[in-house]
């Protein structure tokens, strides 16, 4: 009985120790999980601050920008002609106490569903223009959308890169919207104009050839009629009355050529007379 009681006490002690250790382990695990969740919440709470700081660093609080499309004028309809030049002006205002330098302007066409996907990139124009404190500056830029984008919505991104006197670089997206690329409608179609000119020239040429053909046929008929009139007029000798004409005045063909004997007779006859 004593042995059984001692073994039972030891067994109960061992079980109680195991239970205490498991409870301690569970509490430690719960504390670790709470600490990890707290760390995650702290990290989640700090991320927006970092993102806000990063977004604030892309532009300077001492600078203001504005864009104005000059060709085509205005941006209310957000339509750009395909294959035609598009021009705009970017106005920059330095509100700070230090001077700033406008580095360059770049533009690109993006996929409208994902602006990170570039469809057409345009050349960046470098200006290196110094803008002093409390002053303004304006730069011009132009590009030509491809004809293949006609009739499609396209994302247009225009960025202005500048820096301050401390060398800090800033990028200001002065335009970041979806525009409609439309077909350019010319008020005067040159192809149609030249087609009409070609048709008109062909008609004039046909009329000229027809007139020459008809005029040539009429001339031939007139010439043939004149020839027939001359031939009939010279051939009708029976209409001439030769009775009242002296026979000495009539000469037959070849009568102008007389022999010497006839000439002598004529000369003798004239002497006797």
**Per-residue pLDDT tens over the stretch 69-81:** 988 765 555 788 8
- Judged against a pLDDT cut of 60, whether residue 85 lies above it is answered with yes
The whole-number pLDDT of residue 144 equals: 93
Domain assignment present for residue 261? The answer is: no
Average pLDDT over residues 221-229: 59
Tokens of 227: 């020839």
Q: What does R_g of the chain's alpha carbons equal in angstroms?
A: 57
Residues 6+ apart with CB under 8 A from 259: none
* Domain enclosing residue 127, as ranges: 63-182
Token pair for 103: 């580095």
Nearest to 165 by CA among 125, 133, 126: 133
Are the CB atoms for 131 and 102 separated by under 8 Å?
Answer: yes
Mean pLDDT of the chain: 74
Question: Looking at residue 129, what is its pLDDT?
Answer: 94
Q: Is residue 149 part of a domain?
A: yes
Tokens at 72, concatenated: 């085509």
CA–CA separation, 135 and 97 (whole Å): 10
pLDDT band at 228 (very low <50, low <70, confident <90, very high): low
Residue 74 lies in a domain: yes
155/203 same-domain check: no
Q: What is the pLDDT of residues 51-65, one digit of tens each?
A: 444 444 588 999 999
Of 138, 143, 180, the closest CA to residue 160 belongs to 138
Rounded to an integer, the average pLDDT of 166-185 is 90
How far apart (Å, rounded) are the C-alpha atoms in residues 88 and 157? 13
One domain for residues 114 and 203: no
Region of poorest pLDDT, from 64-68, 100-104, 208-212: 208-212
């Amino acid at each position: 009985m004593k042995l059984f009681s001692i073994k039972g006490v030891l067994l109960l002690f061992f079980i109680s120790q195991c239970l205490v250790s498991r409870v301690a382990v569970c509490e430690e695990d719960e504390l670790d999980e709470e600490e990890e969740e707290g760390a995650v919440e702290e990290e989640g709470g700090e991320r927006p601050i970092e993102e806000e700081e990063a977004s604030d660093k892309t532009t300077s609080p001492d600078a203001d920008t504005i864009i104005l499309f000059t060709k085509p004028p205005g941006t209310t309809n957000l339509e750009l002609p395909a294959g035609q030049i598009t021009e705009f002006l970017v106005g920059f205002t330095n509100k700070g106490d230090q001077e700033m330098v406008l580095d360059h302007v770049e533009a690109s066409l993006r996929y409208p569903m994902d602006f990170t996907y570039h469809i057409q990139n345009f050349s960046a124009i470098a200006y290196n223009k110094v803008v002093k404190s409390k002053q303004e500056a304006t730069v011009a830029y132009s590009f030509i959308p491809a004809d293949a984008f006609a009739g499609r919505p396209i994302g247009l991104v225009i960025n202005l890169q500048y820096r301050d006197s401390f060398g800090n670089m800033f990028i200001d997206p002065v335009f970041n919207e979806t525009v409609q690329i439309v077909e350019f409608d010319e008020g005067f179609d040159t192809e149609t104009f030249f087609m009409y000119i070609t048709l008109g020239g062909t008609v004039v040429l046909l009329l000229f050839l027809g007139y020459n053909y008809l005029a040539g046929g009429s001339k031939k008929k007139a010439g043939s009629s004149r020839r027939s009139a001359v031939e009939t007029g010279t051939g009708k000798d029976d209409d001439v009355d030769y009775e009242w004409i002296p026979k000495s005045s009539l000469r037959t063909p070849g009568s102008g050529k007389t022999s010497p004997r006839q000439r002598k007779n004529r000369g003798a006859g004239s002497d006797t007379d």
